[in-house]
Amino acid sequence: MSSTSEPAAVPPRRGRGRPPRGESTDTRDRILTAAREEFSERGYEKTSVRGIAKAAGVDSALVHHYFGTKEQVFEAAIEVAFAPAFNAPGAVADGPLDGVGERLTRFIFGIWENPTTRTPLLAIVRSAVNNDTAAAVFRRLIGAQLLRRVAAQVEREDAELRAELAAAQLVGCAMLRYVIKVEPLASADLEQIVARVAPVVQGHLTAP
């Protein structure tokens, strides 16, 4: 989506003239990492492109050049964090339908247990509950990347609603375990939770 920027158009940084091959990718990555941290710590509203640029050690203009508006930086920062997981073969939406509940459950808990993806997830949750623009980004991203793909497998008229109720079980678990930290759920053994939650997710998707 925002990957069309051409290295030749990047203004030279740090007085080094034309950046060496690979620098623009490094810079983009550094900006995205800084963006994830800023959004996660401050939430969408309090984060500014200027603050992200400062944390990444670049000029604000470069952030705008690569990504555009704050909303677009937010979307890119979140998307890039999940692309490997969403695109991993068989991760969620591929594979047999009778195992989709467990795959989806393990996928969602997996990205929350992993510190690298937990930061952007916290950023999404904190931002989306407080800001309509961030909520729209969340809807677009999760809708297109996950829910539609799961729903496409479930060949029923109410497939999208089913996928969302399944997602609701997982979103609620993540909220109570990782964000609000309600005990005993916050410290419960992951396998004990998966054993209870995966059949529920499966049921939402495929039960009559």
Residues in the site for a second copy, rule: CB under 8 A? 43, 125-126, 128-130, 135, 138-139, 142-143, 147, 160-162, 164-165, 167-173, 175-177, 179-185, 188, 192-193, 196-197, 200, 203-204
Residues 139, 148: contact at Cβ < 8 Å?
no
- Measured from the CB atom, the residue of 60 and 133 that comes closer to a second copy is 133
Q: Name the minimum Å distance from CB 50 to a second copy.
A: 20
Phi, psi of 47 (to 5 degrees): -85, 135
Q: What is the SS3 assignment for 184?
A: coil
What minimum distance in Å lies between the beta carbon of 46 and a second copy? 9
Residue among 70 and 126 whose Cβ is closer to a second copy: 126
Peptide bond before residue 19 is cis, with ω within 30 degrees of 0 = no
Q: Collect contacts of 177-181 with beta carbons under 8 A, ≥24 apart.
A: 177/112, 178/112, 178/118, 178/121, 178/122, 179/122, 179/125
Residue 93 or 147: the one with the smaller Cβ distance to a second copy is 147
Closest approach of a second copy to the CB of residue 165, in Å: 6
Position 113: which residue type? E
The least CB distance from residue 89 to a second copy, in Å, is 27
Question: Which is closer to a second copy, CB of 62 or CB of 197?
Answer: 197
Question: Tokens 């047999």 label which residue?
Answer: 96
Which is nearer to a second copy, 63 or 142 (by Cβ)?
142
CA 140 to chain centre: 11
Question: Closest separation between CB of residue 182 and a second copy, Å?
Answer: 5
**Euclidean distance between CA atoms 65 and 189, whole angstroms:** 45
Please answer whether residues 78 and 35 qualify as being in contact, where contact means their C-beta atoms are separated by less than 8 angstroms: no
